[in-house]
Amino acid sequence: MIKQVPDEEWNSLYGYEFLCELPYSVQEVCDKFGIEFEEYLEDGLGECFAAIVRVEDSLYFLRGFGDLTQKEIGVCANMSGDHPDPQLGLEQVAANFKVSIPDMAHICEDLSRPRWILTRQGDDGNEVEMHRFLREHTANWVMKKYTERGHKQCYLVREET
């Protein structure tokens, strides 16, 4: 089931990863699924549309480009940069938006389990996994943000082997 949620629920700290392009225009997503998009201007892209939705237990950032009825680019579904299972995310989006995966114009090339792990080491020396990321640069960026907060813990990024 798709449920639109307030923008504040999206944790921008973890960034987002492109997941897939749905074969719908912004207007079709509005009409078929009752999702309301916010309109905004983005340098180099022009008029854009955005909405945050919850599908199952995951949040997705939907983006549309051009005009409301444009299907050529369609609506892109993006997952959180720390989504634990991109393949499952793709399957959930396909099922809930009532589209088959082969009907999607573009799909993320890397749907593997995220292998970049952000850990926190406490004063007691114990290391705790905080998040997993598909991309090393995203894990390092989040580590930097946590470090800048001035916490006493040590943050590390490592690749799962």
Contact assessment for residue 48 and residue 36, using Cβ atoms and an 8 Å cutoff: no
**Block residue for tokens 């892209």:** 45
Q: Please report whether residue 111 resides in a domain.
A: no
pTM of the model: 0.82
74 and 142 part of one domain? no
Q: Which residues, 6+ apart, have CB-to-CB distance to 150 below 8 Å?
A: none
pLDDT exceeds cutoff 80 at 116: yes
User: DSSP class of residue 71?
Assistant: -
Number of domains observed in the structure of the chain: 2
Tens digits of per-residue pLDDT, 135-160?
899 999 999 988 888 777 899 999 99
Torsions phi, psi for 159 (to 5 deg): -95, 130
Find the domain containing 19 and state its range. 2-103
User: DSSP class of residue 19?
Assistant: E
99 and 34 part of one domain? yes
